[in-house]
């Protein structure tokens, strides 16, 4: 037992000496590796541009000089972990002598396919446009009455502005010409509305009696028809209708109370339309010049050129629609008058008003005339009324509209139907009325701006040469 302390002391001294030698060897290896890295850097600097230098890894290390004394090898003590010494020594050397690794992964931007990148770029722009349109529609719905009144004023101004221009050319002052035209236009529209209301009130009693007689005739026809409808089934249908009306009495009453609000809003809209029309007729040019100042200077020339063309399109649409609606009302009204359909004149006025809703308005007004004919005069008169309506509408669609409107207003029927449906969903009847002229004006503006954007490219294009230059060169007229 007395030898154990001495053995432990020698073992500790040996381990201390071994650790010191390992530190010395590690320092020598680090110096050698730093020297090799400096040599590689100098070789890279001296190599020509575009070439690459690789370190030789198969080169054997230089032998030590002959006169150098061999390093003493430490004695291995039993139980020592000197077998792990080579790995500990070679790890730093391997770390410093290995060349830099090249990252072969592609750029993330280049890794995305071109189609996906284009779709993403277009997608976020479409989202921005959709958000802008949504905000705009929310604002318009909040001030719907004001917007519809102003759009109606634009339509009326497009109809009355040529009259103001004629009066000014004759010699009337601008204010007097505007006042006379506006007063005359609104008086005519008021008289038309009053005439329709007066005709309906005068014929409402007679119409109700005729409707009751028509319902009785329809009931008799159903009883004798091949559909095998019994009197009991007809009574059950009438009973269900009465119960539905009784169950919805509260809703009908609330709708009647809301009708007062609708009347107030209608009067407000009419007043706004009248004042807007008056000022647009009197000072429309200055209002347009002020609006141009709100446009950025870079886009102002294009907008200034698109404005007059859009106004000409709107004027042509309104005047052409008024002429076509008047012809429809006259001929259909004469047809139902000779067929002894009651309220022929009010129905003709309704046909004139509904003609401002393209395609859809003609169907609705024609259906109204046929319904009145079938409940008052019978099935045969209703069929004759349907033939009259279809004949006039076919003449309108294939002859009158192409001849009167011409190329000034050319909108595809699918665009007409979709715009009328969208306008009706957004703003009701008023939206359906203004949808088609809005689409026509937008089509004109977009077409002009597209052609205007091509002009700078044509102006800055290189001049043609050779035979092409001879082809496009202007030909001078022959001298006399």
Q: How far apart are CA 148 and CA 141, in angstroms?
A: 10
What pLDDT is recorded for position 80?
A: 45
Band of pLDDT at residue 45, cut at 50, 70 and 90: low
CB 341 within 8 Å of CB 381: yes
What pLDDT is recorded for position 94?
A: 43
The predicted model gives 152-156 an average pLDDT of: 89
Which is higher by pLDDT, 462 or 174?
A: 174
What pLDDT is recorded for position 78?
A: 46
CB 438 within 8 Å of CB 453: no
Residue 90 has pLDDT above 50, yes or no: no
Least confident of 41-45, 120-124, 296-300: 41-45
Convert the pLDDT of each residue in 224-262 to its tens digit. Answer: 777 667 777 777 777 776 666 566 555 555 555 565 677
**What's the distance, CA 349 to chain centroid?**
36
What is the number of other CB atoms lying within 10 angstroms of the CB of residue 62? 6
Which two three-digit tokens encode residue 75? 């004695």
Which pTM does this prediction carry?
Answer: 0.60
Convert the pLDDT of each residue in 165-218 to its tens digit. Answer: 898 888 889 889 899 998 998 898 888 878 877 877 777 766 666 666 767 777
């Amino acid at each position: 037992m007395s030898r154990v302390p001495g053995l432990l002391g020698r073992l500790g001294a040996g381990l201390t000496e071994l650790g010191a030698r390992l530190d010395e060897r590690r320092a020598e290896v680090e110096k050698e590796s730093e020297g090799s890295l400096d040599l590689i850097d100098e070789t890279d600097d001296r190599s020509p541009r575009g070439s690459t230098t690789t370190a030789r890894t198969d080169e054997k290390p230089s032998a030590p000089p002959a006169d150098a004394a061999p390093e003493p090898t430490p004695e291995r003590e039993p139980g020592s972990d000197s077998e792990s010494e080579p790995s500990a020594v070679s790890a730093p050397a391997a770390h410093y002598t290995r060349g830099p690794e090249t990252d072969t992964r592609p750029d993330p931007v280049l890794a995305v396919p071109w189609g996906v990148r284009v779709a993403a770029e277009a997608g976020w722009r479409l989202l921005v446009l959709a958000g802008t349109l949504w905000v705009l529609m929310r604002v318009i719905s909040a001030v719907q009455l004001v917007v519809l009144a102003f759009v109606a004023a634009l339509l009326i101004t497009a109809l009355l502005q040529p009259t103001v221009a004629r009066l000014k050319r004759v010699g009337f002052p601008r204010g007097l010409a505007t006042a006379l035209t506006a007063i005359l236009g609104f008086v005519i529209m008021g008289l038309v509305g009053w005439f329709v209301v007066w005709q309906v009130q005068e014929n409402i009693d007679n119409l109700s009696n005729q409707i009751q007689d028509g319902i009785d005739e329809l009931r008799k026809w159903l009883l004798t028809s091949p559909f095998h409808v019994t009197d009991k089934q007809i009574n059950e249908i009438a009973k269900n209708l009465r119960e539905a009306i009784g169950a919805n009495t509260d809703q009908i009453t609330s709708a009647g109370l809301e009708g007062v609000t609708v009347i107030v809003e209608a009067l407000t809209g009419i007043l706004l339309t009248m004042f807007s029309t008056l000022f647009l007729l009197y000072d429309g040019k200055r209002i347009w010049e002020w609006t141009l100042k709100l446009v950025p200077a870079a886009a102002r020339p294009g907008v200034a050129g698109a404005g007059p063309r859009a106004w000409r399109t709107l004027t042509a649409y309104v005047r052409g629609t008024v002429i076509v609606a008047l012809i429809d009302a006259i001929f259909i009204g004469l047809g139902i008058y000779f067929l002894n359909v009651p309220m022929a004149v009010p129905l003709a006025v309704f046909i004139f008003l509904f003609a401002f809703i393209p395609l859809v308005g003609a169907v609705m007004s024609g259906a109204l005339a046929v319904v009145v004919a079938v409940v008052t005069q019978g099935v045969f008169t209703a069929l004759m009324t349907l033939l009259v309506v279809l004949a006039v509408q076919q003449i309108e669609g294939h002859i009158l509209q192409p001849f009167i409107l011409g190329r000034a207003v050319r909108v595809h029927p699918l665009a007409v139907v979709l715009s009328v449906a969208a306008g009706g969903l957004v703003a009701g009847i008023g939206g359906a009325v203004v949808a088609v002229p809005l689409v026509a004006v937008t089509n004109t503006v977009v077409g002009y701006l597209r052609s205007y954007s091509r002009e700078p490219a044509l102006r800055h294009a290189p001049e043609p040469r050779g035979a092409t230059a001879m082809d496009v060169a202007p030909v001078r007229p022959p001298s006399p």
